[in-house]
Structures are given as structure tokens and as C-alpha cells.
Amino acid sequence: MSILLTILIVVLVIVSILLITIIAIQTTKSEQGGAGMGWGTIGGQASTSIKKFGLEAKLGQITTILAVTFISLAFIVCIIDAQIRHGLAR
């Protein structure tokens, strides 16, 4: 069981590094040139940052997948660690 825990912790560290990297690559709303929240009009021009296209959309999807994976792995690692510490695992 401790081997499984070690493997999951290594995967958790890799996922966390990937998540940090992907978030750092993405552009912020102010870098997109739209309104502060990306909605509505400014100066009579419609904001074009409502829809994401291409690379930004793909980075958003990858971020969501990595975030869900990170939370799930962290939860699983906590459960397995608690079982090992309390002697419930064989």
C-alpha cells in the first residue's frame, strides 16, 4: 500500500507542476485587450474576449482537466495515508 501511496504522490507532484505551468502560460483578461471582465462594450466597440478560440480554449480545457485531477489525487492520497497511519491497510 505504501508503494501505491508513493506512486500517487509522485503523480500528484507532476500534475501540480503541469498545472502551475499551464496557468502561467495563459493570458490574463487585461492582456486580451477586452473589458476588465471581458463582457459588454467599451467606447462603442464590442468586447471580443467573450469567446476563446484556438490555443486559449485548449489551455482552458487542459487547466480544467489538470485541476480536477489534482483535487482528486490529493483526496485519494489523504484517504490512503489515513488508512496506513491507522493500520487499516494490509
Q: Residue ranges of the domains in the chain?
A: 1-22+52-90
The parts of the chain modelled with pLDDT lower than 70 are 29-52, 89-90
Instruction: Collect contacts of 30-36 with beta carbons under 8 A, ≥24 apart.
Output: none
pLDDT digits (tens, 9 = 90+) for 34-56: 544 444 444 444 445 556 678 88
Can you state the angle between helices 55-85 and 2-25, rounded to 10 degrees? 150
pLDDT for 79 equals: 93
